[in-house]
Amino acid sequence: MPFDPYRRANPSVLDIAPYVPGKSLEEAIEESGRDDVIKLASNENPLGASPAAVEAISAALGGAHRYVESSARRVRGRFAAILGLTPDHLIAGNGSDALLLAAAMAFLDREDEVIVPEITFSMYEIVARTMGARVVRAAMDGMAIDIDAILSNVSAATKAVFLCNPNNPTGTLIDRRRFAELWDALPDDVLLIHDEAYADFADPALRPDTAALVRGGAANLLAVRTFSKSHGLAGVRFGFAYGDPRAIELMHRVRPPFDLSIVAQAAGLAAAGDEEFRRLTLQVNRDGKEQLAAGFDALGLTFTPTHTNFIMVRAGDRAPAVADALLRRGVVVRCWTRPAALASWLRITIGTAADNRLLLAALADALAG
Ligand SMILES: Cc1ncc(COP(=O)(O)O)c(C=O)c1O
């Protein structure tokens, strides 16, 4: 009998709906027929990449023929020092997606349940299902993650909870106080995977200090970070995670060797030291947030207060049509057909002042048309 990939597939994989990315710039240019497209669909850094990282990437290319030091020793040492941890608390990876998968591979098995909020980053479900784990969806409190709903779903089968904080795509934050309530109530044998992809954009006084918990010996906490947003390295792929050294050691067992390229390691190290770029990124984001909020108010649109570099705006039943109209006017935003609760919203990355002005003008046009 000829090999039938679908009959012979890992049954867990057959259950996976593929990740749907925001439209790429290439697709947007093709579909809109314009070459002046502004991409506000994937929460990338509107300023580009950290200039220090770009310089380091060029310098690193001379070593392109060499295998990189596999465990990213220098990277782990650098971030350990920044966070007050040891290199054994850290693992680096090819973007945070790769680390989410490594965590799933290290900890999840068939029969395990993982709790994932109803409206959150879609990769959690994909990595959990890859391992055959059962995904239990916790209800939201409107657009915010509901700690009580998470806790009420914990059972003897619960192995892990995925918490995107601040949350993508809603932009909401579980602040320190609420996080402490979750942390205190969560059984010690449940792993809390705290995705901090947008933490750099949140107020340091409000966001939970997971490094302090790990320093204090928390065994069931894994924090995951990326430089895709705050440091403009989405195309280079640079992420790291920290947690109990035993958990990290298990993740090292399953990650592909050399997965953080020589270019990504150099870029991440340089970006970590680029304070000027970080400061500018946060300033542009703060200003853009105010500019967009004022613009949405003027258009009479409801939006969620955000702790990230994007804003959710309610466009009603016409959301997909508005997104299409924006694309025709040269602006790409993100919209969804499911879950149903998301179908009336647009997610808009906060851009530069010029990007935001163009977006607001295009949105006014699209809504009128
Ligand atoms: C919440 C969240 N986690 C992780 C990722 C993946 O980031 P990376 O580019 O590091 O794989 C994203 C990217 O959109 C994200 O929004």
Residue 369: is its pLDDT beyond 80? Answer: no
Give the Cα separation of 36 and 24 in Å (integer).
14
The answer to whether residue 300 scores a pLDDT higher than 90 is yes
Neighbours of 205 (CB within 10 A): 8
How many A from CA of 84 to the centre of ligand 1?
24
Ligand 1 atom showing the smallest separation from residue 97 Cα: 11
305-352 per-position pLDDT tens digit: 999 999 999 999 999 999 999 999 999 999 998 888 899 999 999 999
Q: Which residues have a Cβ under 8 Å from the Cβ of 149 and sit 6 or more positions away?
A: 117, 138, 139, 140, 141
Number of H helices and E strands in the chain, helices first, is 15, 14
Spell out the CATH class of 5-48+276-368.
Answer: alpha beta
pLDDT at site 251: 98
Please give the distance, rounded to the nearest whole angstrom, from the Cα atom of residue 257 to the centre of ligand 1.
Answer: 21
Sign of the CA dihedral with 132 first, then 225, 47, and 172 last: positive
User: What confidence category does residue 363 fall into, taking pLDDT thresholds of 50, 70 and 90?
Assistant: very high
Task: Read off the pLDDT of residues 53-87 as tens digits, 9 standing for 90 and up.
Answer: 999 999 999 999 999 999 999 999 999 999 999 99
pLDDT of residue 20: 84
pLDDT of residue 28: 86
Whole-number Å distance, alpha carbon 43 to ligand 1 midpoint, is 9
Q: State residue 24's pLDDT score.
A: 86
The torsion angles phi and psi of 351, rounded to 5 degrees, stand at -105, -165
Protein residues with CB under 6 Å of any ligand 1 atom: 43, 95-97, 121, 164, 168, 195, 197, 226, 228, 234, 239
Instruction: Find the mean pLDDT for residues 107-132.
Output: 97
Q: What is the Cβ-side half-sphere exposure of residue 223, based on CA atoms within 13 angstroms?
A: 24
Question: What CATH number does domain 51-272 carry, 2.70.98.10, 3.40.640.10, 3.30.1370.60, 3.50.50.60?
Answer: 3.40.640.10
The confidence band for 295, taking pLDDT boundaries of 50, 70 and 90, is very high
Q: Which residues contact 251 (CB under 8 A, 6 or more apart)?
A: 91, 99, 102, 103, 105, 106, 241
Domain residue spans of the chain: 5-48+276-368, 51-272
Separation between Cα atoms, residue 364 and residue 369, nearest integer Å: 9
